[in-house]
């Protein structure tokens, strides 16, 4: 569904993906899922709701940690990936496709473009590892 | 001087430790660590007695034990939140195993399967008794458990919690049938949120929570009631009509507030005879479990029970044991849903509870196994009957009158009349003290002139007779 | 003599009891209580309205006493415990639990005592709580302890609630509690429960709090600071006096998390450090058994100015005397004449349960306290006596430093606090073991196969792969050497393939916690 689109990343490791139909999805990065380990529970955002950038929109739990999911840009949730309720491991298996968090609407395309692209994000991770 | 018996390092060992560390003595050791903070000399503390050998220590406590009411000649009819039940010897024997009482909380599941499995059985048995979905691995005591239930209900209501909610207009509605100590504990725990407490009167005739008053309280709160709390049987021993209460509470949805129906109990043994809270669709149960295999121990430690509907499990406080598998597909047990807890979620945890009442819970698991299905019901039934026989016997003397007429399980309240005169009441506390001189703990004072009396399988018909005869002498003085 | 305690053994498996039942079996003898047969047979509906009566009894196992005893005895054999293994869990103070304390707590009349028995009949029991308070005051330099808190976290809550109430009465709206990021999770959780917002302060390399750093956080919003001392790295907070001064100058309180009080017992008075409140975990420092997760007691101690805020009820001395109290006083006195101890004070002093504390935060528990826990702790202190009590912290600190020094050599580069001395526990990162391909969790599980309980792991969080070792004063150098040798062997000889499979000698292997959390099973 997001195939062939472009991905943009936040410093808190969420992605925004724009597909060929100009539809937007959000999720968490491959790096984030690997740091979390086996994901056992996801609390999803509310469909129909508008969130400002950096608002807390949900939570991801592994056995012994909890991480918050933040809105990478200002967005409105169109629908959530309800498959995650029963199979949260989709995020581990396929964070950018089947493990997406929600389909969203974005008011300004430039908001997403203002985030890091794949290359910038890779550098960002490498840098933060050295800290 | 010889080494003290609890220290396995000899003087020689200790000298070796100092040598390895390159430190001369205690003064230097602590001096290096503490900087300017002075080292104290405990040997000069007058408030701490001198060392005691084991035999002297035992005699000291034996002497204390022999100067308080003796188990073998005192008839205990006091309840009010803790009950004098029989404790089979097998429990003491099993619990005295170091493997149960000396480990820490089972954070390393592979070396704690015994405790974890026992707690899993505890959860299973309590879930059966209460008719509830999920039971946790224990809270401190019934009162604290109930306070946590109220806090949990506040997390559940209003359902939409996007905006920071001011709790100043919220009202926790509590029946006056709830043990007043429990209500006090709720105030201590929930007070920090600013929430108010609204009390519902009891029907003066039956002693049950007054439905009309509850209706009014729910309406007056403008719908901002996260919870309604009742106790079953209530503080005065009366069996509440949970069916009617549930209907009213669950139909009261208002501005995002769906009040949780919280049922408490100080005597879950009652659920051997009467319908349990789960039968009446209670959202949360929080009460005391000391009746199951634990001694009264002068009021503690106790055993807090906590249960809820499955859909609310992520808002539950406390530890929960879950069943799983190990790498070789063998059954294994571990704490689950730990992300609710303070060691992971810190300030956002569902509770700050950590160490709780594990050993008491294991006692309860052993006890309920020993009771078995038929025994549990039979003992509950025995409690019911003894209490009714005692009440009938006391009322027939003409020296008592009932405080309430509602049905009860093993506890009831009576008013006292000196010489049978309705207008000449004896103070309940005076009656209790006078009875105590006669080796009868006659109950507890629930008002100026009313006594709350309980009977359990630890009371015999002869104790009941003794109670009645002594009461007659005391009240006819 | 075996090289290590963990060799091999036999594990006896057990089915859930519910699967072992047979119709109408039971393991309890039920008296008839003198009831007539006809009464015993009578239906419950003869007593109460039939609509209340439970139709189907709870499905408890139907088993006999021997079955129950074997079942739980087998279960117990699947636990490691203080009496079977070295149990160096950091911050948990897993010291030996003296057996005489258990015997005392099992005394027939004490354990069967109803908490609402008239005070006149239970003077010696009330006196225990009263005297225990005096001892704790002597050891800490504080003014009074409240015993209502049932465990450490409850003690923290009580202390913070006291601070909250103090400022409420003063009309000051102070909203925050400062908490170092290395603190136990209960600290921020208790702060929230008491109505505060916890503000985390970053700590230095050894988890210590720098007075200058603290100053940045101090404002009129701060009601107090919660500080663990020694901190969760086992390191003494050197700036503690300065910290207290800064807080006091700001009108704020200093709350000390006393979970690590074993480092100070009988050697340091917390009042000398400017502490205003502390909770003492009797199930840690004062030797009462941890019970596999409780019960405990978190007695809350305060300075003079906060005494009136303590929870109620409490044991008060010198109240009004009634006839019954006088009678029993003489009785207790008489009973004491045969005893060598000079405890004939009951006739002069009258102890009562009082709610008379004018600013009390209220009630925390239905009755007085976890009395049986207080009783054990009191017996522990009487056993030790003033002559030995200072040795507790001394030996605990010596043992911890010995482990720190010896293991520091094996786990080189892993001690975040290499230079100084620790107090009752020491911490290592996973740096050295990672070099040999062993992770912290693997070290923990490997130690199990050697016959040791693992240390606390992955806490404190600001040490990578933290390994936190608290040996306590009740372990010998011989045991410590054996443990150190095991760590050495793991570090240098363990193959990764073995590490990931450990433990192998336990009842079950590595538990599938992902499955347990994804598809939770809560009961049979």
Q: pLDDT tens for residues C266-286?
A: 999 999 999 999 999 999 999
CA–chain centroid gap for C444, Å, is 22
Domain assignment present for residue A115? The answer is yes
**Whole-angstrom Cα Rg for chain B:** 26
Minimal Cα distance from B341: which residue of A? A64
Q: What is the CATH number of the domain that holds C482?
A: 3.90.1150.10
Q: What pLDDT score was predicted for residue B162?
A: 52
Tell me the CATH number at A120: 2.40.50.100
Measured CA to CA, the distance from residue B220 to residue B223 in angstroms comes to 7
Q: Which residues of B touch C150 (CB under 8 A)?
A: 140-141, 144, 300-301, 356-357
| Partner residue opposite B113 with nearest CB, options C78, C335, C397 | C78
**In which band, very low, low, confident or very high, does the pLDDT at B200 lie, cut at 50, 70 and 90?**
very high
Measure Cα distances from C328 to B59, B67, B331, B436, C15 in Å: 20, 8, 56, 11, 52
Helix axes B142-156, B180-190, angle to 10 degrees: 50
Contact C186 B352 (CB under 8 A): yes
Q: Are residues C397 and C351 in the same domain?
A: no
Which positions in chain B touch A41 (Cβ < 8 Å)? 314, 339
CB burial of B369-403 (b: ≥16 within 10 Å; e: otherwise) equals: bbbbbbbbbbbbbbbbbbbbbbbebbeeeebbbbb
Which residues of A, range 34-93, sit inside 8 Å of C by Cβ? 38, 40-41, 61, 63-64, 88-89
Integer CA distances (angstroms), C344 to A92, C331, C339, in order: 71, 10, 10
Looking at every residue in chain B, the average pLDDT score rounds to 94
Pair C173, C204 in one domain:
yes
B114–C77 CB contact, under 8 Å: yes
As a dihedral over the C-alpha atoms of residue C490, residue C491, residue C496, residue C499, rounded to 10 degrees, the angle is 40
CB–CB of C517 and A88 under 8 A? no
| Nearest CB partner across the interface for B101, out of C291, C448, C479 | C291
From A41, A49, A64, residue closest to B344, measured CB to CB? A64
CATH code where residue C185 lies:
3.40.640.10
Q: Element (H or E) spanning C299, and its range?
A: strand C298-302
* pLDDT computed for residue B78 by the predictor: 98
How much is the pLDDT for C508?
Answer: 96
Is C55 within a domain?
no
DSSP codes, A48-75: T-EE-TT-EEEEEEESS-EEEEE-SSSE
Partners of C447 on chain B (C-beta within 8 Å) are none
What does the alpha-carbon distance between residue A3 and residue B145 come to, in Å, rounded to a whole number?
51
Under an 8 A CB cutoff, do A64 and B339 touch?
Answer: yes
Query: Is residue C283 within 8 Å of residue C149, measured between CB atoms?
Result: no
Instruction: Enter the tokens of residue A72.
Output: 């990478």
Structure tokens at C62: 């139907």
| Residue B76 pLDDT exceeds 50 | yes
Assess if residue A20 is contained within a domain: yes
Q: Which of B288-292, B345-349, C451-455, C486-490 has the least mean pLDDT?
A: B345-349
Instruction: Report CA-CA distances (Å) from A44 to A118, B314, C380, C429.
Output: 25, 14, 52, 35
Burial of C515 (0-12, 13-18, 19+ CB in 10 A): buried
pLDDT band at B256 (very low <50, low <70, confident <90, very high): confident
List the single residue in B with minimal CA-CA distance to C509. Answer: B326
Strand segments (E) across C187-269: 197-201, 222-228, 253-258
Q: For residue B6, is pLDDT > 60?
A: yes
User: What's the pLDDT at B160?
Assistant: 57
Q: Is B476 on the interface with A (CB under 8 A)?
A: no
Collapse the DSSP code of B262 into the 3-class scheme (helix H, G, I; strand E, B; otherwise coil) and give the result: strand
Write the CB contacts of C80 (distance below 8 Å, at least 6 apart in sequence).
B103, B108, B111, B112, C87, C448, C453
Distance, CA of B392 to CA of B411 (rounded, Å): 13
Per-residue pLDDT tens digits for B394-414: 999 999 999 999 999 999 999
Question: Which tens digits make up the pLDDT trace of C334-352?
Answer: 333 333 333 444 445 699 9
Residues of A in contact with B314 (CB under 8 A): 41
Do C333 and C257 lie in one domain? The reply is yes
- Domain count along chain C: 2
Domain contains A85: yes
Residues of B with Cβ-Cβ distance to A66 under 8 angstroms: 339, 344-345
Domain that holds residue C166: 104-373
In this structure, are C355 and C478 located in the same domain?
Answer: no
The residue of chain B nearest to residue A67, with distances taken between CA atoms, is B345
Any A CB within 8 A of B344 CB: yes
Backbone phi and psi for residue C202, each to the nearest 5 degrees, phi listed first: -70, 140
- Same domain, yes or no: C349 and C412: no
Q: What is the pLDDT at residue A4? A: 63
CA distance B213 to chain C (A): 22
User: What range does the domain containing A106 cover?
Assistant: 6-126
CA distance B146 to chain C (A): 11
B166 touches chain A (CB under 8 A): no
As beta bridge partners, residue C256 has: C227, C278
Give residue-wise pLDDT tens across range C295-344: 999 999 999 999 999 999 999 997 544 434 333 333 333 333 333 333 44
Res. B422: pLDDT tops 80:
no
Nearest-Cα residue of chain B relative to residue C149: B140
Nearest to B232 by CA among B223, B220, B245, B221: B245
CATH topology of domain B93-367: 3.40.640
Query: Which residues in chain C have Cβ-Cβ distances shorter than 8 Å to B36?
Result: 241
Shortest distance between the Cα of B343 and any Cα of chain C, in A, equals 4
pLDDT, position A129: 62
Q: How far is C404 from chain B (nearest CA, A)?
A: 10
Q: What pLDDT, on a 0 to 100 scale, did the predictor assign at position C340? A: 35
DSSP string, A111-131: HHHTSB-HHHHHHHHHHHHH-
Interface of A with B (CB under 8 A): 41, 49, 61, 63-66
Instruction: Tell whether C82 is covered by a domain.
Output: no
Confidence of residue A114 (pLDDT cuts 50, 70, 90): confident
Neighbouring chains to A with at least 3 Cβ pairs closer than 8 Å: B, C
CA distance C238 to chain A (A): 28
pLDDT for A2 equals 61
List chains adjacent to chain B, taking adjacency as at least 3 C-beta pairs closer than 8 Å.
A, C
pLDDT of residue C324: 40
| Element holding C383 (H helix, E strand) | helix C371-410
**pLDDT (tens digit per residue) in C136-167:** 999 999 999 999 999 999 999 999 999 999 99
| C415–chain B nearest CA distance, Å | 16
Q: What is the pLDDT of residue B157?
A: 86
Pairing of strands B171-175, C351-354: unpaired
Q: Determine contact: B339 vs chain A, CB below 8 A.
A: yes
DSSP one-letter string for B324-364: EEBTTS-EEEEEE-GGGSHHHHGGGSS----S--HHHHHHH
Long-range pairs for C457-464: beta carbons < 8 A, 24 or more residues apart: C458/A64, C459/B343, C459/C90, C459/C91, C459/C232, C460/C182, C460/C207, C460/C232, C460/C233, C460/C427, C461/C181, C461/C182, C462/C181, C462/C182, C462/C203, C462/C207, C463/C233, C463/C416, C463/C427, C463/C428, C463/C429, C464/C429, C464/C430, C464/C431
Q: Is the domain of C351 the same as that of C397?
A: no
Please give the pLDDT value at position C206: 73
Q: Do C116 and C175 share a domain, yes or no?
A: yes
pLDDT at residue B219 in the model? 87
8 Å CB contact between B67 and C332: yes
Residue A112 lies in a domain: yes
Pick among B11, B22, B61 to test the C interface (most C CBs inside 10 A): B61
Pair C255, C401 in one domain: no
Long-range CB contact pairs, B22-25, < 8 A, 24+: B23/C421
Is A131 part of any domain? Answer: no
For residues C160 and C153, what is the distance between their CA atoms, to the nearest angstrom?
11
- Which chain C residues touch A41 with a CB distance below 8 Å? 517-518
SS3 B306: strand
Same-domain check for residues C289 and C247: yes
- Chains A, B: CB contacts within 8 A come to 14
C197: pLDDT strictly greater than 50:
yes
Distance from CA of B285 to the nearest CA of C (A): 16
pLDDT by residue (tens digit) across C171-196? 999 999 999 988 899 999 999 999 99
Assign B322 to helix, strand or coil.
strand
Contacts of C40 in chain B (CB under 8 A): 382, 385
Domain boundaries, chain B: 1-35, 75-85+372-475, 93-367
Written as six digits, the tokens of B55 are 């035999």
Average pLDDT over residues C376-395: 97
Say whether A41 and C517 touch across the interface (CB within 8 A). yes
Closest residue in B to A56 (Cα) is: B162
Mean pLDDT of chain C: 92
Indicate if C347 and C466 belong to the same structural domain: no
**With an 8 Å Cβ cutoff, are B372 and C25 in contact?**
yes
Whether B443 shows a pLDDT value over 50: the answer reads yes
C129 vs C126: CA distance, rounded Å: 5
**By CA distance, what is B457's nearest residue in C?**
C33
Please state, in angstroms and rounded to a whole number, the distance separating the CA atoms of residues C81 and C290: 10
- Per CATH, is B75-85+372-475 categorized as 3.40.50.880? no
Interface of B with C in 165-194 (CB under 8 A): 179, 181-182, 184-185, 187-189, 191-193
What pLDDT does B235 receive?
Answer: 98
User: Which residues of chain C lie closer than 8 angstroms to A85, CB-CB?
Assistant: none
Nearest by CB to residue B29, choosing from C89, C120, C397, is C397
Contacting chains of C (3 CB pairs or more, <8 Å) are: A, B
pLDDT surpasses 70 at B222: no
Q: Is residue A1 part of a domain?
A: no
Counted domains in chain A: 1
Say if residue B1 is exposed, middle or buried (CB neighbours under 10 Å; 0-12, 13-18, 19+).
Answer: exposed
Q: Which of C404, C333, A131, C389 is nearest to B20 (CA)?
A: C404
Question: Do the chains contact at A41 and C513, CB–CB below 8 Å?
Answer: no
Residue B345 touches partner A, C-beta closer than 8 Å: yes
Q: Supply the ipTM of this predicted assembly.
A: 0.97
Tell me the mean pLDDT in the region A116-122. Answer: 93
> What's the confidence (pLDDT) of residue C451?
96
CB B201 within 8 A of CB B215: no
Could you tell me if C315 and C391 lie in one domain?
A: no
In C25-169, the DSSP E strands lie at: 144-146
Tell me what pLDDT residue B477 has. Answer: 61
Helical ranges in B157-210 per DSSP H: 180-190
The string of pLDDT tens digits covering residues A19-59 is 888 899 999 999 999 989 999 999 999 999 999 999 999 99
Name the domain boundary from C373, C400, C419: C373
CB distance A12 to A106 below 8 Å = no
What integer is the mean pLDDT of B21-25? 97
Residue A120 forms contact with C (CB below 8 Å)? no
Counting one residue from A and one from C, how many pairs have CB atoms under 8 Å apart? 15
């Amino acid at each position: 569904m997001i195939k062939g689109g472009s991905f943009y990343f936040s410093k808190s490791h969420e992605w925004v993906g724009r597909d060929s139909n100009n539809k937007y999805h959000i999720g968490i990065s491959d790096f984030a899922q690997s740091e979390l380990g086996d994901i056992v529970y996801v609390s999803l955002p509310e469909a129909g709701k508008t969130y400002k950038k950096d608002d807390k929109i949900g939570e991801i739990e592994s056995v012994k940690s909890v991480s918050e999911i933040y809105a990478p840009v200002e967005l409105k949730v169109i629908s959530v990936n309800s498959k995650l309720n029963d199979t949260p491991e989709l995020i581990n298996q396929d964070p950018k496709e089947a493990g997406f968090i929600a389909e969203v609407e974005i008011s300004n395309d430039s908001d997403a473009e203002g985030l890091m692209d794949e290359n910038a994000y890779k550098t960002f991770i490498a840098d933060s590892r050295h800290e | 001087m010889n080494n003290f018996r609890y220290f396995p390092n000899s003087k020689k060992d200790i000298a070796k430790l100092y040598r390895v560390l390159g430190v001369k003595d205690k003064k230097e050791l602590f001096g290096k660590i503490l900087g300017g903070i002075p080292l104290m000399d405990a040997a000069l503390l007058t408030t701490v007695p001198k060392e005691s050998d084991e035999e002297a220590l035992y005699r000291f406590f034996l002497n204390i034990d022999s100067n308080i009411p003796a188990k073998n000649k005192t008839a205990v009819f006091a309840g009010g939140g803790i009950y004098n039940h029989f404790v089979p010897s097998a429990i003491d024997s099993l619990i005295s195993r170091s493997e149960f009482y000396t480990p820490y909380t089972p954070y390393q599941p592979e070396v704690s399967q015994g405790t974890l499995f026992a707690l899993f059985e505890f959860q299973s048995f309590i879930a059966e008794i209460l008719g509830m979905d999920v039971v946790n691995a224990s809270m401190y005591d019934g009162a604290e458990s109930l306070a946590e239930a109220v806090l949990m209900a506040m997390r559940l209501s209003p359902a939409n919690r996007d905006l920071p909610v001011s709790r100043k207009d919220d009202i926790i509605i509590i029946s006056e049938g709830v043990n007043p100590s429990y209500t006090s504990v709720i105030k201590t725990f929930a007070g920090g949120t600013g929430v108010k407490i609204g009390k519902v009167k009891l029907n003066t005739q039956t002693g049950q929570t007054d439905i009309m008053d509850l209706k009014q309280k729910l309406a007056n709160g403008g719908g901002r009631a996260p919870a309604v709390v009742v106790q079953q049987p209530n503080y005065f021993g009366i069996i509440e009509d949970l069916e009617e209460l549930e209907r009213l509470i669950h139909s009261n949805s208002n501005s995002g507030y769906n009040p949780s129906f919280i049922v408490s109990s100080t005597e879950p043994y009652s659920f051997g005879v009467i319908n349990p809270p789960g039968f009446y669709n209670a959202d949360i149960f929080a009460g005391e479990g000391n009746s199951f295999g634990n001694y009264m121990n002068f009021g503690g430690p106790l055993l807090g029970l906590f249960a809820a509907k499955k859909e609310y499990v992520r808002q539950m406080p406390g530890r929960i044991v879950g069943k799983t598998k190990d790498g070789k597909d063998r059954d294994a047990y571990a704490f689950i849903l730990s992300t609710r807890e303070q060691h992971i979620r810190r300030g956002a945890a569902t509770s700050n509870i950590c160490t709780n009442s594990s050993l008491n819970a294991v006692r309860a698991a052993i006890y309920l196994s020993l009771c078995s299905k038929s025994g549990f019901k039979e003992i509950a039934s025995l409690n019911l009957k003894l209490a009714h026989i005692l009440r009938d016997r006391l009322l027939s003397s003409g020296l008592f009158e009932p405080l309430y007429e509602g049905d009860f399980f093993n506890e009831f309240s009576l008013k006292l009349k000196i010489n049978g005169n309705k207008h000449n009441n004896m103070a309940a506390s005076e009656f209790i003290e006078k009875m105590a001189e006669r080796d009868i703990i006659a109950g507890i004072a629930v008002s100026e002139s009313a006594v709350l009396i309980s009977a359990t399988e630890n009371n015999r018909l002869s104790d009941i007779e003794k109670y009645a005869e002594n009461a007659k002498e005391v009240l006819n003085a | 003599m075996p090289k290590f305690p963990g060799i091999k053994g036999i594990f006896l498996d057990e089915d859930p009891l519910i699967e072992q039942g047979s119709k109408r079996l039971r393991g309890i003898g039920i008296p008839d209580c003198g009831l007539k047969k006809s009464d015993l047979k009578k239906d419950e509906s003869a007593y109460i309205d039939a609509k209340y009566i439970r139709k189907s009894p709870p499905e408890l196992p139907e088993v006999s006493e021997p079955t129950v005893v074997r079942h739980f005895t087998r279960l117990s054999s699947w636990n490691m415990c203080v009496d079977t293994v070295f149990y160096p869990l950091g911050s948990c103070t897993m010291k030996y639990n003296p057996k005489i304390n258990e015997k005392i707590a099992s005394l027939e009349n004490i354990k069967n005592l109803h908490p609402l028995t008239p005070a006149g009949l239970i003077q010696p029991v009330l006196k225990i709580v009263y005297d225990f308070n005096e001892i704790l005051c002597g050891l800490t330099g504080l003014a009074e302890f409240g015993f209502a808190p049932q465990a450490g976290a409850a003690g923290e809550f009580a202390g913070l609630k006291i601070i909250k109430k103090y400022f409420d009465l003063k009309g000051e709206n102070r909203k925050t509690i400062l908490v170092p990021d290395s603190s136990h999770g209960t600290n921020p959780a208790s702060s929230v429960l008491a109505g505060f917002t916890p503000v985390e302060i970053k700590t230095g390399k050894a988890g210590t709090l720098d007075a200058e750093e603290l100053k940045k956080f101090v404002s009129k919003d701060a009601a107090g600071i919660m500080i663990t001392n020694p901190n969760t790295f086992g390191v003494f907070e050197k700036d503690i006096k300065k910290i207290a001064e800064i807080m006091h100058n700001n009108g704020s309180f200093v709350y000390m998390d006393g979970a690590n009080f074993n480092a100070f017992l009988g050697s340091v008075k917390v009042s000398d450090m400017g502490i205003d409140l502390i909770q003492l975990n009797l199930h840690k420092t004062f030797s009462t058994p941890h019970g596999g997760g409780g019960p405990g007691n978190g007695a809350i101690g305060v300075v003079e100015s906060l005494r009136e805020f303590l929870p109620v009820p409490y044991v008060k001395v010198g109240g009004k005397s009634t006839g019954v109290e006088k009678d029993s006083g003489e009785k207790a006195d008489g009973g004491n004449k045969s005893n060598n101890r000079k405890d004939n004070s009951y006739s002069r002093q009258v102890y009562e349960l009082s709610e008379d504390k004018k600013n009390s935060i209220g009630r925390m528990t239905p009755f007085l306290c976890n009395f049986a826990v207080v009783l054990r702790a009191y017996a522990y202190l009487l056993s030790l006596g003033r002559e030995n009590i200072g040795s507790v912290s001394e030996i605990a600190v010596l043992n911890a430093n010995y482990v720190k020094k010896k293991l520091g050599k094996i786990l080189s580069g892993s001690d975040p606090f290499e230079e100084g001395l620790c107090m009752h526990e020491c911490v290592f990162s996973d740096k050295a073991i990672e070099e040999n391909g062993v992770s912290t969790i693997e070290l923990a599980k490997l130690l199990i196969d050697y016959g040791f309980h693992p240390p606390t792991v992955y806490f404190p969080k600001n040490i990578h792969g933290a390994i936190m070792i608290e040996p306590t004063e009740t372990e010998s150098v011989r045991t410590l050497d054996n443990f150190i040798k095991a760590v050495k062997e793991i570090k240098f000889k363990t193959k990764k393939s073995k590490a990931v499979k450990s433990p192998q000698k336990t009842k079950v292997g590595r538990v599938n916690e992902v499955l347990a959390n994804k598809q939770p099973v809560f009961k049979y």
